[in-house]
Structure 1
Amino acid sequence: MNNKARVIWWTLFILIIAFGIFFSSTAFVKQIPKSVKGTWQTGFLKHNVLQAERQLLADEAVARNIGTALVLELAGNGGFRKGETSRCGKIQGVNAWNRNAELCLPEIEETFSASALKKLQEKIPNRKYTAVGTDAKFFYALGAKEDINSNYGEYIFNTSISADMGYSFSEYKVLFTDAFDLLAQCNEEKNLQSCLEKNRRAYWRFTDCEKEEFKIQERRVVFCVRSPSSSTVYDYQGKEIPVKYSLTLDFTPEKPFPIEELVVEKEGMELSVRFPQDPSAEGYKIYYTDWAGAPVAVQRTHNPAEVFETKTTGFVEVRLLHNPLLENCVKEKMAGEVYLCEGEIYYLIKDSQIISDETYYVGVTSIKEEKESGLTTFILAK
C-alpha cells in the first residue's frame, strides 16, 4: 500500500470512528429521524442543545441576582432574614448576636438556602429544585432532568444551575471570631468605648460605616462592619455594591463593676462614705471594720465572702443600700439615708462600735440581679 492509499484508508477509518463515538455518546438524544443525511447535527444543536443552554443561562442570571440580593439583605440584618428578630432582640432596630452570656448567632447557611429556594420557586416556577446552597463563592441549585423536542429529536438535559456571586459566606466565621474577641476583651471594662476603640478591627465601625457614632444602650453597642475581604457584589442593574454587616453586641459583664473610687471621712462615731454612682447597679453593700488585716486580705481575694475568713479580732458590719433613680441631694444629710448628689452616692454611718480615736476600714461593692461585684479596696478612716 503506497502512502496516498494509506492516508485515504486512515482518513475513512477515523471518520467512521468519529461518527460512531458521536452517536454512541449522545445518550440524551432520542428519536433521531431516519431522513437525516448531513444537516441533522447542525439542526439538533440549534433547535435542541442551544435552546437548553439559553434556558440555563437565563436561569443562572436569575439565580445570581437572587444570590447577591440575599447576600446584601442578610448582611444588613446581621445574618437574619428581613423582618426577622434575633432571639436576643434588637437595639435601635439592629439584631443582637448575644444577650449577656447567651449567644444568638445566625444560622447563615441554612437561612440563605431556605430563602434562596423560596425565591427560585417564585422566579422560575417551571423548574423543580431540591438541594440549594453555596460552595465557596458559588450559589448552586440541583434541578431535575427535562427534555426539549424538535423535528431533530429529543434532548434531555440537567436543569441544575451554578452562579458565581463573587462572595463567600465564610466571612461570617471571621466576624464571629472578631465578636468573640471583643466580648472577651471588653465585657469587664468599665470604660467600654475606650476598650472597643483599642481592640476592634479597622473594618468594625460604630453605628454607621461612613459616619460612625458611638451609641450605647445598657452596655449594648450597634456596629456596622465592612467586609473583611472588601467583598462586593453586583445587583441586577450591574451596579457594584460593597458588603456591609449590621449587628449589635451586648457587653454586660458577668458581675457588676467594683467600686474603686471611694472617699471616707470619720467624725466622732460617724463615717461619711462617698463614691460615684453606677447607673447599672441595683444597689450597694458597704463593709466597714476595725480589723487591721482587711487591706492585705482584699489584695489576696476580691470575693467579699473570703476577705474576712482569716479575721480573728474586731468586728465587721455590712450596710445594704439601694441605688437612687433620681437626685435627692440635701445639705443636711441623715444617717442611714442614701443620697444621690451630682452623680455621687452619699451615705452616713452612725454606729456605737465606732470610737473617735480608733482606725477603721471601709469598702464598697455593687449589686445587680443578686450578683455582687468584687471587693477591690479598703479605704482608711481615722
Structure 2
Amino acid sequence: MISEQTKLLWRDSFLCTLLSFIVSGILLFTFLNISVLDPFYKAFKDFRFTDIYYSKIYTNSSVEKDIIVVNIKQSDRFTIAQAIEKVQQQNPKVIGIDAIFKEPKNTFTDSILKAVLNKYENIVTAYYFEGDSLISNHNYFKTNNENQGFINVNFNNDDKVIRDFLGLKKPENKLSFATQVALKAGKLSQTNAETLSEGIPINYFGNLDAFLTFDIDELLDLESSIPSIKNAIVLFGYLGTPTGNAFDIEDKHFTPLNKTFVGKSTPDMFGVLIHANIIKMLTTNSFISKVPKFLIYILAFISTFFIIMLGMKLYKKSELLYDIIIKAIQLIISIALLYLALLLLKQSIYIYITPILVLTVFGLEMIDFYVYLLDYLKKRFKWQSYLLN
C-alpha cells in the first residue's frame, strides 16, 4: 500500500513540474517580446544542439557519383547552352538548372539557349517565390513540356541555418526544384512527392567534396565522352568563381555542416549543393524521422517530473547535500540528454532536445522556489507537503 509520504512526494513533484512549465513559459514570453533581448533570441534561435553532430562528429569520405554538379560561374547563355548540349550527349537521367533567365539579353545567344531547352524533355528549370510573387524564366525561354520547381531553401527569413526542406508548397501545390529533379529521374513517386508538404530535416551527405563536380569550361574542353554522366543526375548551378571559393558568398547559405556553429561565421554551402543533398536524400530514401513536438513536450514533462522527484528526495534528506550536488546532477543530465540526441540523429531520428534539456535542468532550480510557496500555503491553508512534513 502506498504511504502518505509517497503520495505527498508525487503530488509535490507534479505541482513543482507544473510550476516549472508555467514560469519557463512566462520567461520565454518575456524573452520573445522585449525588444532589447531580440538579438539574444535570434542567436539562440539559429542554434540547435544537434548541429554539433554535423559540424564536429559527422564525417563522410565517399563521393556521390550519381549526382553531378556543373559550376556555371558567370558564364553567358551561349556557354550554358553549349554545356547543356555536351551533357545531353552523355545520356544523363535528368538535368536540373539552378539558374533563372529573367530577361532577354542577346537575340542570338538567347535563341540558342531557347532551342536547347526546347530540344530535350529531361530538363528541370527553376523559379522562386518572392513574397506573393513568382520569379521565373522569361516567357521567351518557357516550353510546353517544361518541368519547374521552386528553389527557395528558406521560407522563414528568421531561420538563417538551412536545416529543413519543403518539397511541396501549399496551398499553391508547387513542387520544389529538388523534388522535381528526383521525380524526373524516376527515383521518387508522385505519391511520395505529395507527402512532402511538412518541413523535413535535411539529411546532409556532405559539401563540395562529397559530389563529383565540373567547372563549365573544363566540361567544354573535354573532347572525349564522359562516362560518369551517363544515367546520372546533373545539376547546373553556381559554385563560386573559381569553384569552391571560400570568400565567394553569392547564393551561399548556412547549414549544420558549418564548422563554426556558434558565433559569427561565413555561409558554408552553395544553394545548388543544398539541392544536391536533398536530391540524394530523396533518391535514396534516406530520410530523417522527426519526433513530433507534442511528444517532445510530453517527454519533457515526464523527465522534469522524475528529476524533480529525485531532487526533492535529496532536499528532504539534506538541504546542504542538495545545494552541493545539484549542479553536478544538472551537468550530468545535460551531457546525457545531448548524447542521446546525437545518438538518435546518427540513427536518422531527429529530436529537438532543447525543451527537454532546459525544462529538466530548470525544474531542479525551481524546488527552492516551490519550498517558499509551500511555506506560504502551509501558514495560510495548513497545506500538507512532503518537503515540509
TM-score by length of 2: 0.24
Say which structure is richer in helix. 2
TM-score by length of 1: 0.24
Give the number of the structure whose alpha-carbon radius of gyration is greater.
1
Say which structure is richer in strand. 1
